[in-house]
Amino acid sequence: MMEPMDRVRQPGRRRRTGRLVAIDMPGGPEFVETLSRVWDAGDAAFVVDRRNPPARASAVLDVMAPSAVIDEHGDESARTDGRPIEAGDALVVATSGTTGSPKGVVLGHAAVAASAAATSARLGVTATDHWLACLPLAHIGGLSVVTRALHLATPLTVLDGFDADAVMRSEATLVSLVPTALARIGADRFRVVVLGGSAPPAVLPSNVVTTYGMTETGSGIVYDGVPLDGVDVRVDEGGAIAVRGPTLLRAYRDGTDPFVDGWFPTGDVGAWDAEGRLVVQGRDADLIISGGENVWPAEVEAALRQHPDVAAVAVAGLPDDEWGATVGAFVVARSQRPSLRSLRDHVKERLPAHSAPRRLYVVERLPMTTLGKIDRPGLLALAGQVQPETLESETLSPRRSRRDGR
């Protein structure tokens, strides 16, 4: 673990066309100093995900097209196929790439600074606070902790990945985590825990702030359902969420402009609740249409997490000749294996009957992305490997079964 950085250099303010420089080094003080040097030189940084196998790492570098790579020894090597950055670019961050080749999200210095200011204001960060970065630095959830500390000169400790013991020993007052990491530490150790990455647990400590955002928004832009200052959120009649504000990307690395009339379409669907807070129901692509009814995996997952025999759960739509798609539940059991019937009854007490799972896969672990999100393509692959429990005795037609509780 690195020593706290009580004084860090403000990012350079040079504004010239420069290079994209890949940083391929572990988390720690050398990483932070290297990022600062890249910025001071007027270049932009791309952080290499060191967990990738060589073939994957090479493919990602080809997509991001840096002009140079700095390795763990601080040595820089040139790449002949690099593409320049535009004036003001600070970072290129790869999306998670769970559905294909990752895209490079280009964030400018102005966006990084705006994100640092808005998040710090919402959290009430003071000179006595101290950030801990322990999430993967190749992802915006980990990297944004470092960049906001650099911009505001907040003391900072950087770990090379999540280690529960090291987290608990840290002198930090602020930390950004995902739910799987939160479950392994004592949240009361920190003044504030910023939680993102996937759906939060049903019950949270009072010092945990849930966030909504993505790589394209420069980190979380909605805290506990309320947009940060300067961020606009629009939900249309169909529930599609679009956002705009100073923290957003300039473009993708390939030059694609994702904005529509100044708004960024997130691909998520949600609604405003009675208190005016944003409730995100899930990715539009994750929606399950079963027998003509809409089922949101996140809602079913939230219900199933409250079942006493469920330790962890993920829900996905699976092809079905009768229903078009059927709701499948992938469950990590506690000491007792739950039955499909008990899970269906549990869900139907909380959600419409068509949301209840019709297939149950009991598994040892769930496929996850590196940021603790459910790997939904991985669920489909898992369905082909595990024998499910199904409702073979239920022979009602789709139309009749909807009337009779399905």
Q: Tell whether 3 is covered by a domain.
A: no
What does the pLDDT read at residue 9? 43
Q: Are residues 274 and 316 in the same domain?
A: no
Q: Are residues 171 and 204 in the same domain?
A: yes
Confidence check: pLDDT of 41 > 90: yes
Q: Tell whether 8 is covered by a domain.
A: no
CA dihedral angle for residue 223, residue 224, residue 229, residue 231, rounded to 10 degrees:
70
Confidence check: pLDDT of 298 > 80: yes
Q: Examine the fold and report which residue of 259, 280, 301 is the final residue of a domain before the chain moves on.
A: 280
Q: Are residues 120 and 262 in the same domain?
A: yes
Q: Are residues 143 and 57 in the same domain?
A: yes
Residue type at 357 in one-letter notation: P
CA nearest to 105, candidates 247, 246, 253: 253
Longest dimension (CA), the chain: 69
pLDDT in tens, 219-259: 999 999 999 999 999 999 989 999 999 999 999 999 999 99
pLDDT in tens, 125-174: 999 999 999 999 999 999 999 999 999 999 999 999 999 999 999 999 99
Spatial distance between the Cα atoms of 161 and 26, rounded to a whole number of angstroms: 9
Q: Tell whether 4 is covered by a domain.
A: no
pLDDT in tens, 86-119: 999 999 999 854 445 678 999 999 999 999 999 9
Q: Are residues 303 and 155 in the same domain?
A: no
Q: Tell whether 13 is covered by a domain.
A: no
Instruction: Of 182-196, 369-383, 388-402, give the lowest mean pLDDT range.
Output: 388-402
Average pLDDT score over residue span 267-276: 94
**15: confidence class by pLDDT, cuts 50, 70, 90:** very low
Q: Examine the fold and report which residue of 280, 297, 319 is the final residue of a domain before the chain moves on.
A: 280
**398: confidence class by pLDDT, cuts 50, 70, 90:** very low
Mean pLDDT of the chain: 89
Q: Are residues 134 and 213 in the same domain?
A: yes
What the block records as the tokens of 133 is 């970065």
Q: Are residues 295 and 157 in the same domain?
A: no
Q: Are residues 220 and 356 in the same domain?
A: no
Domains held by the chain: number: 2
Confidence check: pLDDT of 396 > 60: no
pLDDT in tens, 333-386: 999 999 999 999 999 998 888 899 999 999 999 998 766 778 888 898 899 899
Average pLDDT score over residue span 302-321: 93
CATH number, residue 350 = 3.30.300.30
CATH number, residue 38 = 3.40.50.12780
Q: Tell whether 15 is covered by a domain.
A: no
**392: confidence class by pLDDT, cuts 50, 70, 90:** low
**397: confidence class by pLDDT, cuts 50, 70, 90:** very low
**17: confidence class by pLDDT, cuts 50, 70, 90:** low
Confidence check: pLDDT of 47 > 90: yes
Q: Tell whether 67 is covered by a domain.
A: yes
- The boundaries of the domain holding residue 324 are 287-403
Q: Are residues 268 and 308 in the same domain?
A: no
Give percent of the chain above pLDDT 90.
Answer: 71
Q: Tell whether 32 is covered by a domain.
A: yes
Q: Examine the fold and report which residue of 280, 303, 338 is the final residue of a domain before the chain moves on.
A: 280
Q: Are residues 267 and 296 in the same domain?
A: no
Give percent of the chain above pLDDT 70.
Answer: 90
What does the pLDDT read at residue 200? 82
What does the pLDDT read at residue 371? 65
What does the pLDDT read at residue 33? 97
Confidence check: pLDDT of 272 > 60: yes
Q: Are residues 380 and 365 in the same domain?
A: yes
Q: Tell whether 163 is covered by a domain.
A: yes
Q: Are residues 163 and 215 in the same domain?
A: yes
